[in-house]
Structure formats: C-alpha cells, structure tokens
Structure 1
Amino acid sequence: MAVPCPCGRTGPKGQVQALDDCCGPLHGGQAAPDAERLMRSRYSAFALGNVSYLLSTWHSSQRPAELTLETGGKWLGLEIKHHRVTGADTAEVEFVARFRIGGKAVRQHERSRFVCEGGRWFYVDGDVL
C-alpha cells in the first residue's frame, strides 16, 4: 500500500497522492517545478523529520547553521491559500500548517518568499500572519 504524502496534494480524481509520486522525488534530489511544490515538499520534510532536506532548500542568505525539530509533534495538515509569482525568479506562497505538539494544537499561517537560482527553488523567509 502506498504511503500518502503528508502535504495532502491530490490527483485528478481527488485522492491524496502517494509520497513516492509527490514530495518523495523532491526529497530525493529532483528540483521543485515551482515555489508551491517546494513549500509542499518542505512541509512534508517537517512532517517526516527530514532536516537535511529542509536545510538544503533554505536559501543560503537565511539558512540557519543547524536545525533541530521538536520531537513528539504530529503534523495534521497543510492548506495552500495562495501562490503568487512576484518576478522572473521570485514567488510567494501563503499557507496554513497545522500540527500538535505536547497536546497543544498549533496553527501557523505564513506568507513565505521563495527565489529560484540555477533552476532550483529556495525558501528565503516569511511573515507570520
């Protein structure tokens, strides 16, 4: 049985895509075709605890030296509110990510900025809304 992708992206028939057909190839090194797909793959990486992918897709101008994810969290869903191309190599993605940590529900609403360099999209930064 195929593992559903944590990002919740659906196919033409409305079913959640398999991880191997959605974010899995990006986690394996394939370039994201746009900022929205990179955002989805980063959400999936958070859900799966894939720190190396998160760091590799963070723009070097803003990338932290290290990243430690909180343990015991459960990622509950991602909603893409808006994807907007802002320039030839820039875009914004507004999203809501939901997760539970230590029994507390958290809802992160953010507008993130992305840049494409050398054919690869990178997360730059974001504003919590």
Structure 2
Amino acid sequence: MTKIGAQDRCPCLSGEQYASCCGRFHSGGAEAATAEQLMRSRYTAFVLLDRDYLLRTWHPDTAPLDLQLDPEMQWRRLDIAATGGGGPFDTAGTVEFKAHYRHTGERGVLHETSRFVRSGGRWLYVDGDIRD
C-alpha cells in the first residue's frame, strides 16, 4: 500500500490534511456523512492502494469477489462535477467526477457518475456509469 503522512495534503484535493480528511474514514475513526465524502475517500483509497477500504465501502450486492489494484496506476487529480442527493439526511445519491490519471506513460481521465446508498447508517458505493 502507498503511504501518506497524516499532515500531508489529502489526495482528494479538499485542501485539508489527510488525517482530518479521508484518513479518518480509512482508519475507521469516522464514517462519511455524505456521498461526496465517501467518493473522495474512495478516490484517495485508490491513490493509496487501500483495497480493504474500497471493499468495505462497496455495497455487498455489487462488490467484486476480488479486487486487484494496479500499482502502476497513478491517480493525479479528482474533480467533482456534480452531486445529486447524497446529503446527511438522504438515503441515496450520485456523484459525477473526473479522475485524472497516468498509467505507463499515458494520461487519461475517468469520467463517471457513481451511485451511492445509505445502509445501516453508512454510505456505500453501488455502481457507476462511465461517461465520455
């Protein structure tokens, strides 16, 4: 797993330090209050190759049986384009994002609208639609 210091800026680009942003979710010290917070923390988990967190925050009906992360994938920037629902009092929400990456020298952008549900008081990633 890739490491980041508690005082380093969070890879989700919130402007906060990792420990007070996504780090508290990764450690289990807190749960994401919104679908966007969960989206940001999952992006950061991809950056850090935190397979366990990704599987823990994936809805059991849609989670893969196994998840292999590519250490050659370098996630560079996360842009949130839009959100729908997903607030502290909602039970479902969507987050449209663009995740910029570099892989084996090639640059690209993953543009997705992700679906989230709140189950048992926790936000979970359900699935997403890749956009052009």
> Does residue 25 of structure 2 align to residue 26 of structure 1?
yes
Matched, 1:6 2:11: yes
Structure 2 partner of 1:54: 54
TM-score (norm 1): 0.91
Tell me, in whole angstroms, the C-alpha distance in 2 between the residues paired with 1:100 and 1:25.
Answer: 27
Kindly indicate whether residue 75 of structure 2 is the aligned counterpart of residue 70 of structure 1.
no
- Residue aligned with 1:93, SS: strand
Report what 2:93 is aligned to: 91
Where structure 1 has 5 or more consecutive residues not aligned to the other structure, the ranges are: 10-15
Q: Which amino acid is the alignment partner of residue 96 of structure 2?
A: E
Partner amino acid, structure 2, of 1:54: L
Using structure 2 for the length normalisation, give the TM-score. Answer: 0.89
1:84-114 Cα offsets, whole Å, 9 max, x none, are 1179400000000011010011200000000
Shift of the alpha carbon at 1:81? Answer: 0.6
Structure 2 SS opposite 1:76? strand
Partner of 2:104: 102
- CA offset at residue 61 of structure 1? 0.5
The answer to whether the aligner puts 1:43 opposite 2:38 as a matched pair is no
Q: Deviations over 1:18-43 (max 9, x none)?
A: 10010000001121001000000000
Runs of 4+ more than 4 Å apart: none
Letter in 2 for 1:95: F
1:13 equivalent in structure 2: none
Equivalent pairs, count: 123
Distance 1:88 1:81 in 2: 19
Using the aligned pairs only, state the percent identity: 43
In structure 2, what is the Cα distance between the partners aligned to 1:27 and 1:76? 19
